Structure 1
Amino acid sequence: MNEITASIALIVVLLALLGGGVWVGLTLAGVAWFGMEFFTARAAGDAMAMTIWGSASSWTLTALPLFVWMGEILYRTNLSESMFRGLAPWVNALPGRLLHTNVIGCTIFAAVSGSSAATCATVGKMNVPELMKRGYPQDQVIGSLGGPATLGLLIPPSIILIVYGVSAEMSISKLFMAGVLPGIMLAVMFSGWIMVWALLNPGKIPKADAAMGFKEKLYESRHLIPVVLLIASVIASIYTGIATATEAAAIGVVGSLILSAVQGALTWKNFKDALFGATRLYCMIALILAGAAFMTLSMGYIGLPRQLAQYVGSLNLSPAMLIIVLGFFYIVIGCFLDGISTIVLTMSVVLPIIQAAGIDLLWFGIFLVITVETAQITPPVGFNLFVLQGMTGKQITYIARVCAPYFFLMVTALVILWFFPQIVTALPNNM
């Protein structure tokens, strides 16, 4: 009963603070403090100080501002325009045209960063201004970035898959292989939706450039060489074991600075603007992360995630119904917690339930990550929504609305994976 009272009170406080215009990071910290102060015996003050300090001083987190800075540097060169010149001949024939560059860019960068927020921020800094300048509809530009950016959680290397692998005592390499085909499938589904929308709204897409022959397309693709080399160097440094994700992000920053210098765009003003722009965007993200970390601790002390998971286990459902209920459970809880925290707080209860139902833990790991992905674009605490809000200045409700089709596409992907589990297991089983 105490958990129900706490849930209602926390939701009321959350909505009141958000409705009052309080910054999201401060709202999360405020809700967490309220919950810990009134529903637990733990002193809220020192817990908040230690949690926020621990969140802000994490070495792993340093990859995020570096990738954001990399995006800011590229945004201030003509590399983004060059990327469009190289991709345009190949996607111009598709309905939706250059909107597909959001999906392609997010898919590629997801393999670099392993972070949804970093993918959203970096690709957004390069693509959003370019697409808006070319006359593409704002809602589609933002939506086609917010949805595909969630691929940063699924396509390896994925931090969440590592956390799940440790919790479930599974091979991380097999989990990484299991995420490849579902990630590609989701990218294809995202591009498919863009094509369907474009066919239904032909007047809203700018006219295609003049048609080119195959040799001309290849020639124009030379503009992709600088971007491809930069991305390849970052990916190669991670997959060869030369660098960690953080070190690879530093390589990306150095590489983008070198490319900017070669192009003659590395002026003191551009350098300073890129640094300040990355600092502002990352400070917004870091404040939200700190608030989310404290909220996770508070909810853990109150016991809400564990109580919910235990309740689901007590229902004795069939495997299909269990997956449906767990899907709803993780989508709802993901509206208030970040993905890693969700997994850490619930795995000890959920894993025995999954094993008792005879569900493959490898398959469930991918199911769990995609479910967590959906929470990245669902209010009130959808993290990609806040990143996009910081970049575009639009209201959270507007961004959530334009990202909604991609939420339903991810739910559809979960249904497909239930009926065709070999999409997940094919690559790991052939390792």
Structure 2
Amino acid sequence: MISDPLVLSVIILVVMFSLLLSSIWIGISLILTGIIGMLLFEHNLPPVISIYDKIGDLLAASLYDALNSWSLAALPMFILMGEILYKSSISTRLLNGLKPWLSYIPGGLLHVNVAACSLFAAVSGSSAATTATVGKITLDELKKRGYSKSIAMGSLAGAGTLGFLIPPSLIMIIYGVLADTSIGKLFIAGILPGLMLATFYSIYIMVISKIDKSVEPEIKENFTLKQKIDSIKDLAPILSLITVILGSIYGGIATPTEAAALGVLGSIILAIYFKSFNFEVFKNAILNTIKTSSMISFIIAGAVFLSQVIGFLGIARAMSEFITGLGLSPLVLILLIGLMYIVLGMILEGVSIVVMTLPIVLPIVVLAGFDPLWFGVFLVFMVEMAQITPPVGFSLFVIQSISKEKIEVILKATFPFFVMMIVTVALITFFPEIVHYLPNQMIK
């Protein structure tokens, strides 16, 4: 009989990745991995397991515990809010409102991708929705106006991932539930790193536009003062919605779940105000929300079941003790974990990475002295990288479907923005105060 937890962990990982590569649903793969682990290594289970007559009892209890969370209720609400904004004309108005204010900056309207993604990310919480919504509006428009299609695609790929970092973030909700960390604090912690990354993107666009004059058209579009003032009418609704959501959380007025409900109500009111809300829009938004929420909830439930099995088999504890025994410095440890996530990002999408690795990785990083709040933001950055890492970077597929370009062309355009993500991760690692500053202010 095999009893070494480290050997067990290798076998469990082989089984899990074999199931994932067989194209079985992720949630089912995680549940099957847990069941196979219990069947193969039943002798490793502690006496407490004897209270369960069958594996089904543990599975049922795990599924209930995983989904019986009030914090998780924020997930479908934020998804619904993003769907309503996506299906209505509000996203188009956002772009039109930004144009007059960005035309005079070096790089011109290329900054629209960064600004629009940052603002839309702050109300959608989804990287896919942000990339698809902004990309459908901007790519063709920028190409017609003579801007570099390569920079347009690269900036969209990079800025589109801000949907995971700038709150409300679906990944942060999932992490908060699984890691038992305050979702409100996670939201606030992501603001400064998110804005910092968006700033790096804009600086790069300004620098490259000065070096390469072909990046933007020689003749820029001019806007009058009246047009700028009029554009505020298009920007104000989105800015107001962001203020209501984040302000209610930051001010302690509402929980993230209650803020999500306010966001849904606000998005419906705005869609009605702009006369872009009807039964068809609402029906499609509800259906897409149900599909997405069910998929994510199923994955979370499978991950919780697997994490309980891993805990019962002693794998997480053994892995933590093994890593600790290597005597690695905290920085070397986090570097190795970061490299692991980049590799995983080449074959898995973001939600899967979080739910599959967290049960094993979190105890290790906490034991090494890292704060779970900081690690949540770090992990979100890793998921962002996964979105633009071949061959399974979801944002790459979204941009390819919109632009009709070859994937290698998109990868080349995206690479500078990928490097800027790495730089930002290095900064928050060496200066964790960047992550903790706003949450500490909130506590005061």
Same fold (TM over 0.5): yes
CA distance in 2, matches of 1:420, 1:268: 49
CA distance in 2, matches of 1:78, 1:366: 36
**1:166/1:30 Cα in 2 relative to 1: closer, same or farther (>3 Å)?**
closer
**1:266/1:347 Cα in 2 relative to 1: closer, same or farther (>3 Å)?**
closer
One of 306, 314, 319 as aligned partner of 1:303: 314
Indicate whether 1:147 and 2:158 are aligned: no
Question: Do the aligned residues in 2 keep the contact of 1:147 with 1:406 (CA within 8 Å)?
Answer: no
Question: Do the aligned residues in 2 keep the contact of 1:306 with 1:346 (CA within 8 Å)?
Answer: no
Partner of 2:81: 70
Partner of 1:255: 266
Partner of 1:37: 39
Indicate whether 1:274 and 2:279 are aligned: no
Question: Do the aligned residues in 1 keep the contact of 2:78 with 2:260 (CA within 8 Å)?
Answer: yes
Question: Do the aligned residues in 2 keep the contact of 1:65 with 1:282 (CA within 8 Å)?
Answer: yes
CA distance in 2, matches of 1:208, 1:123: 29
* TM-score, normalised relative to structure 2: 0.71
State the AA in 2 paired with 1:296: S
**1:407/1:216 Cα in 2 relative to 1: closer, same or farther (>3 Å)?**
same
Question: Do the aligned residues in 2 keep the contact of 1:77 with 1:260 (CA within 8 Å)?
Answer: yes
Pairing 1:20-419 to 2, within 5 Å after superposition: 20-41=22-43, 44-93=55-104, 100-101=111-112, 103-105=114-116, 107-108=118-119, 118-124=125-131, 126-132=133-139, 134=141, 140=154, 143-152=157-166, 180-192=191-203, 210-213=221-224, 216-318=227-329, 320-325=331-336, 327-328=338-339, 339=354, 350-354=365-369, 365-366=373-374, 369-375=377-383, 377-378=385-386, 408-419=419-430
State the AA in 2 paired with 1:129: K
CA distance in 1, matches of 2:416, 2:299: 25
Structure 1 position 86, deviation (Å): 0.7
CA RMSD of aligned residues (A): 4.8
CA distance in 2, matches of 1:241, 1:231: 15
Question: Do the aligned residues in 2 keep the contact of 1:146 with 1:403 (CA within 8 Å)?
Answer: no
Structure 1 position 125, deviation (Å): 5.8
Question: Do the aligned residues in 2 keep the contact of 1:333 with 1:342 (CA within 8 Å)?
Answer: no
SS in 2 for 1:378: helix
CA distance in 2, matches of 1:63, 1:147: 20
Structure 1 position 260, deviation (Å): 1.8
> Which deviates more from structure 2 when the two are superposed, residues 185-194 or residues 226-235?
185-194
Structure 1 position 226, deviation (Å): 1.8
TM-superposition CA deviations, 1:232-262 (whole Å, max 9, x none): 2222332333322122211221222222222
> Which deviates more from structure 2 when the two are superposed, residues 45-54 or residues 414-423?
414-423
> Which deviates more from structure 2 when the two are superposed, residues 324-333 or residues 407-416?
324-333
TM-superposition CA deviations, 1:3-35 (whole Å, max 9, x none): 444344344434433333323333333333333
**1:61/1:351 Cα in 2 relative to 1: closer, same or farther (>3 Å)?**
closer
State the AA in 1 paired with 2:163: A
* TM-score, normalised relative to structure 1: 0.73
Alignment gaps of 5+ in structure 1:
355-360
State the AA in 1 paired with 2:381: E
TM-superposition CA deviations, 1:121-174 (whole Å, max 9, x none): 55346424323553666954762355322314799x96589789978xxx9999
TM-superposition CA deviations, 1:338-360 (whole Å, max 9, x none): 65886665555544543xxxxxx
Alignment gaps of 5+ in structure 2:
46-53, 144-148
CA distance in 2, matches of 1:73, 1:175: 24
> Which deviates more from structure 2 when the two are superposed, residues 338-347 or residues 273-282?
338-347
**1:365/1:119 Cα in 2 relative to 1: closer, same or farther (>3 Å)?**
same
Paired residues, what number? 414
Partner of 1:358: none
SS in 2 for 1:242: coil
CA distance in 2, matches of 1:209, 1:102: 17
CA distance in 2, matches of 1:93, 1:166: 46
Structure 1 position 287, deviation (Å): 2.6
Question: Do the aligned residues in 1 keep the contact of 2:208 with 2:215 (CA within 8 Å)?
Answer: no
TM-superposition CA deviations, 1:90-143 (whole Å, max 9, x none): 334557665645544554566668xxxx33255346424323553666954762
**1:89/1:102 Cα in 2 relative to 1: closer, same or farther (>3 Å)?**
same
CA distance in 1, matches of 2:258, 2:248: 9
Question: Do the aligned residues in 2 keep the contact of 1:153 with 1:160 (CA within 8 Å)?
Answer: no
**1:201/1:120 Cα in 2 relative to 1: closer, same or farther (>3 Å)?**
farther
